[in-house]
Chain A
Amino acid sequence: MSAQNHEISRLPGLVRMTAAPREAGSRALELPRTGSIVPVWVVILFVAAYALADSTTGLFPNPRFGIQPLSPHAALAMTLMTLGGARYAPAVLAAVLLGWIFPRDTSFSLALVPAAFAITAVYWAAAIALRRWARWGGAQVRPWDVNILLAVSVPAALSCAFIDALRQVVGPAVAASSLPLLAFRIFVADLLGLVVLAPLLLQLTSGSWVRQMRRSWNLKVLRDALLFLLAVGGLLELVFGLRPLDEFRMSYLLFLPMIIVAMRYGVLGVSTVMPVIQLGLLAALMLVGTRAGTAFEFQLLMLTLAVTALYLGALSDERQRAAHRIAEHERALRERGLALAEAQRLASTAELAAALAHDLSQPLSAIGTYASASQVLAARGVADHPKLLETLEQITKESARAGQYLRRMRDFFRTGTMREEHVVVADLIEATRGHLQDRLSRGGIHWRATIDDALPPVRVDTVQMGAVLGNLATNACDALWGVRGPREIHVRAYMVPGTNPTMVRVQIEDSGPGIPPELRERLFLPLATTKPNGMGLGLALSRSIAERQGGHLWYDDSREHTTFCLDLRTDA
């Protein structure tokens, strides 16, 4: 057991791997009783911020209630509990009490204790929900996480507002009749605080903010930040400077920089910048002074702005992730394509080796047989010498044929380096016909070539494209083998209309029985063949050669007879 532990402790990656599912399982099955340990200074900071937050209330003088437009309490408490779990409930409890007692000289009464307990419980429940269903601390924030934040925030803020309002109504300062309005105002302020601050606080405390910032930080971010501050400042000046004219009707202009940030920097940008805008708005309101009604309008504006921006940011993140995934996928596909091409090359190498063995054995066999015949003829005497000479000539011819096969093979294996040259299509087609002359005449096949005048020369590797055309024409010959009725291969070459640079299309059509429909879809896959002894390069290899040279090769479904089209690049 100890040995095992020792082994595992030396493999931290393994520990993480084995520990992770258990953690996930416990998360799914039971409520997390403990969160991570939060440094003491962070806790103190949170508590202090919570307790002192109320002291800003006085900044917004209100004839009836001391309400601030944005209350950070809920955000602070929920972040702490989301991060650290239930063990920080006492700290939150203390903060709630301190927040009530200190700034407003409220004397401590026992009635405050159950209220503080109730509020802490609400925060705790909200934190549990947030932990369980959302992932705000991770690297990726999804629209779903925004959903959860809102779904948790609204009831939490509502509950807290009601409890807080009740507490105030119980006290002597506030009339009982104003309870609903008071609760509503507290609710809006708390909700705004949650939506504006919680994303940033959650990301900051979980460390994901720093991680992401470090990753995306560069001078462009700094430039954008400065531009953003300038824009917000200018807009605020515009909105509030014109106040006498239009009562802040132009506040919606603040949406613009927010949208830009959301689209460019996602949730990270939104959660960072949102508090800045909101602080700017608050500062402007403070400076200008406002009526309670206007402040409420502003709250709603800010709430809408915050929610919109969060969703936009999350969507933009998601779009970026999707784009990233697609790029990854495409790269994987490309790599697999390369691997496939390599496999094809190897497969066709084996096939070519077999083809070479066959091709070479023919002239060699003929040479051997002619040589035997020569021996017989030589032994017979002078009368047979003309026949002997003729036979020896055949031997020479056959050895030349063997050499030609070898040369062709060597040319083929020179595929790694392409030698592109300008070739006249008619020459290419004529060369193909020349290679196939024997097969054509043997099969009684009529070769018809219709080549448009004034075609620009194509830019191809002659040897490889010759192999492709030869393969297509050989296929056509094979298809015509034993066909009753007209046996014709019709090769057409013409300019493809509307291409730039101009493409020249070589179209090869045979009057054969056609390709079975079930094979058509797989035509260009390796190993697809109708021939019992599938020799040659294969359509798969032909297509990859064509595409490597900027061309296309495809099967034209629209025509009655089997038709393949080969588009070739030109410089025109």
Chain B
Amino acid sequence: MPECDPSAPDPAGQVFLVEDDAAVRASLALLLQLHGYKTREFASAEDFLVASPRLERPACVLVDVRLPGMSGIALQARMAHDRRSPPVLLMTAQGSEALARSALLQGAVDFLEKPIDENDLLNAVAAGLRRDIEHITRDRERDAVEARVGTLTPQEIALFEGITNGRQAREIAEEFGVAIDVLEQQKVRLMKKLEIGRIADLFRLRFRLAEILASRTRPH
């Protein structure tokens, strides 16, 4: 994943606030709105989890560590299991380094200590949104690729593999036991199915597919 560029313009998106203290929640919402973010407020982790499947994206979640019921850490751990959930920013009243480290290792974007500095907050939110946008784009692309590849017949997959492995058309035709012009027709149909115009794109797709397969066995 490429590093986020801090100088890049602030991305647009939603910020979900999970905080039991009404004043803290309202003040954060106000400040973030003034900086152009949409916000939604939740008083508990449970409330957030109920609403989360229907929430708009891109987004990031600003979670207080200390919450009644399910704690912020527990919420973050739970969200870390779902690769499609938005990035989490944790806030805490008592800065605990160990807590922060374990949260970051579990995939939290940042760990903010109360009282929260405005710049830290905005940077963390921007970074979180950028990461979510990246995730969403990648997920979409991946979905599209998977969908297209899913329509291929076994013979087309073999052809796709043969071409991208750099073998000659004649060689493949011999192996398939078809004439070379039949093979050429099959190749055109394959590229049409995969919505690819150039042979070079076929190689790129193969590369992405390998990447996706790798990321599937090793999430994050």
Residues of B within 8 A of A373 (CB): 27, 30-31, 34
Min CB–CB distance B48 → chain A (angstroms): 13
Type the 1/0 row for A104-134, where 1 means its CB is closer than 8 Å to any CB of B.
Answer: 0000000000000000000000000000000
Is B71 a contact partner of A376 (Cβ separation < 8 A)? no
Q: Mark out the residues of chain B between 71 and 114 whose CB falls within 8 Å of any chain A CB in the assembled complex.
A: 71, 93-94, 114
Type the 1/0 row for A359-379, where 1 means its CB is closer than 8 Å to any CB of B.
Answer: 001111111111011001100
Residues of A within 8 A of B35 (CB): 376
A357 in complex: contacting residue of B21, B27, B93, B118, CB < 8 Å: B93
| CB-nearest residue of chain A to B28 | A369
Min CB–CB distance A366 → chain B (angstroms): 4
Q: Is B24 an interface residue (CB 8 A)?
A: yes
Is A358 a contact partner of B68 (Cβ separation < 8 A)? no
| CB-nearest residue of chain A to B30 | A373
The complex places the Cα of A35 from the Cα of B27 at a distance, in Å, of 91
Is B26 a contact partner of A377 (Cβ separation < 8 A)? no
* Given A361-B115, A481-B69, A401 and B31 contact (CB-CB distance below 8 Å): no
| CB-nearest residue of chain B to A482 | B69
Q: Is B66 an interface residue (CB 8 A)?
A: yes
Q: Is A159 an interface residue (CB 8 A)?
A: no
Min CB–CB distance A463 → chain B (angstroms): 24
Q: Is A31 an interface residue (CB 8 A)?
A: no
Residues of A within 8 A of B199 (CB): none
Residue among B30, B43, B66 with the most chain A CB within 10 A? B30
Q: Is B20 an interface residue (CB 8 A)?
A: yes
A394 in complex: contacting residue of B27, B66, B114, CB < 8 Å: B27
Q: Is A427 an interface residue (CB 8 A)?
A: no
The complex places the Cα of A533 from the Cα of B67 at a distance, in Å, of 9
Is A369 a contact partner of B22 (Cβ separation < 8 A)? no
Residue among B20, B28, B114, B118 with the most chain A CB within 10 A? B114
The complex places the Cα of A397 from the Cα of B21 at a distance, in Å, of 14
* Given A357-B93, A376-B34, A533-B66, A365 and B71 contact (CB-CB distance below 8 Å): no
Is B93 a contact partner of A361 (Cβ separation < 8 A)? yes
Q: Is B23 an interface residue (CB 8 A)?
A: yes
Residue among A354, A362, A391, A397 with the most chain B CB within 10 A? A362
Residues of B within 8 A of A366 (CB): 21, 23-24, 26-27
Is B20 a contact partner of A442 (Cβ separation < 8 A)? yes
| CB-nearest residue of chain A to B43 | A442
* Interface size in chain A (residues, C-beta < 8 A): 31
| CB-nearest residue of chain A to B27 | A369
Is B30 a contact partner of A362 (Cβ separation < 8 A)? no
Residue among A354, A361, A367 with the most chain B CB within 10 A? A361
Q: Mark out the residues of chain A between 407 and 458 whose CB falls within 8 Å of any chain B CB in the assembled complex.
A: 438-439, 442-443
Residues of B within 8 A of A394 (CB): 23, 26-27
Residue among B31, B43, B46, B121 with the most chain A CB within 10 A? B31
Is A365 a contact partner of B34 (Cβ separation < 8 A)? no
Q: Is A318 an interface residue (CB 8 A)?
A: no
Residue among A368, A443, A532 with the most chain B CB within 10 A? A368
| CB-nearest residue of chain B to A361 | B93
* Given A376-B35, A533-B66, A370 and B27 contact (CB-CB distance below 8 Å): yes
The complex places the Cα of A376 from the Cα of B71 at a distance, in Å, of 32
Q: Is B116 an interface residue (CB 8 A)?
A: yes
The complex places the Cα of A79 from the Cα of B166 at a distance, in Å, of 120
Is A481 a contact partner of B68 (Cβ separation < 8 A)? yes
The complex places the Cα of A370 from the Cα of B118 at a distance, in Å, of 10
| CB-nearest residue of chain A to B118 | A372
Is A482 a contact partner of B71 (Cβ separation < 8 A)? no
Is A369 a contact partner of B68 (Cβ separation < 8 A)? no
Is B24 a contact partner of A369 (Cβ separation < 8 A)? yes
Type the 1/0 row for B145-181, where 1 means its CB is closer than 8 Å to any CB of A.
Answer: 0000000000000000000000000000000000000
Is B34 a contact partner of A367 (Cβ separation < 8 A)? no
* Given A376-B35, A481-B68, A361 and B114 contact (CB-CB distance below 8 Å): yes
| CB-nearest residue of chain B to A359 | B93
Residue among A369, A373, A442 with the most chain B CB within 10 A? A369
The complex places the Cα of A219 from the Cα of B121 at a distance, in Å, of 85
| CB-nearest residue of chain B to A401 | B23
Q: Is A398 an interface residue (CB 8 A)?
A: yes
Type the 1/0 row for A443-486, where 1 means its CB is closer than 8 Å to any CB of B.
Answer: 10000000000000000000000000000000000100110000
Is A369 a contact partner of B116 (Cβ separation < 8 A)? yes
| CB-nearest residue of chain B to A376 | B34
| CB-nearest residue of chain A to B94 | A357
Is A482 a contact partner of B30 (Cβ separation < 8 A)? no
Residues of A within 8 A of B115 (CB): 361, 364-365, 367-369
The complex places the Cα of A373 from the Cα of B116 at a distance, in Å, of 12
Min CB–CB distance A513 → chain B (angstroms): 13
| CB-nearest residue of chain A to B74 | A532
A358 in complex: contacting residue of B31, B94, B116, CB < 8 Å: B94
Min CB–CB distance A178 → chain B (angstroms): 100
Residues of A within 8 A of B23 (CB): 362-363, 366, 394, 397-398, 401
Min CB–CB distance A373 → chain B (angstroms): 4
Residues of B within 8 A of A377 (CB): 34
Type the 1/0 row for A207-219, where 1 means its CB is closer than 8 Å to any CB of B.
Answer: 0000000000000
The complex places the Cα of A372 from the Cα of B31 at a distance, in Å, of 7
Min CB–CB distance A512 → chain B (angstroms): 12
The complex places the Cα of A398 from the Cα of B93 at a distance, in Å, of 16
Residues of A within 8 A of B66 (CB): 358, 533
Min CB–CB distance A449 → chain B (angstroms): 23
The complex places the Cα of A364 from the Cα of B116 at a distance, in Å, of 9
| CB-nearest residue of chain B to A370 | B27
Is A362 a contact partner of B43 (Cβ separation < 8 A)? no
The complex places the Cα of A478 from the Cα of B70 at a distance, in Å, of 11
The complex places the Cα of A260 from the Cα of B163 at a distance, in Å, of 119
The complex places the Cα of A481 from the Cα of B71 at a distance, in Å, of 12
The complex places the Cα of A368 from the Cα of B93 at a distance, in Å, of 13
Residues of A within 8 A of B118 (CB): 368-369, 372
Residues of A within 8 A of B94 (CB): 354, 357-358, 361
Given A361-B94, A362-B93, A365-B93, 15 more A-B residue pairs with CB atoms under 8 Å apart are A354-B94, A365-B116, A366-B21, A367-B115, A368-B118, A369-B24, A369-B28, A370-B30, A373-B34, A376-B31, A376-B34, A376-B35, A398-B23, A439-B68, A532-B71
Residues on B close to A: CB < 8 A?
20-24, 26-28, 30-31, 34-35, 43-44, 46, 66, 68-69, 71, 93-94, 114-118, 121
Task: Name 18 interchain pairs, CB-CB below 8 A, sorted by A.
Answer: A357-B93, A358-B94, A362-B21, A366-B23, A366-B26, A367-B27, A369-B24, A369-B116, A370-B27, A373-B31, A376-B34, A376-B35, A377-B34, A398-B23, A439-B68, A442-B44, A443-B68, A533-B71
Residues on A close to B: CB < 8 A?
354, 357-358, 361-370, 372-373, 376-377, 391, 394, 397-398, 401, 438-439, 442-443, 478, 481-482, 532-533
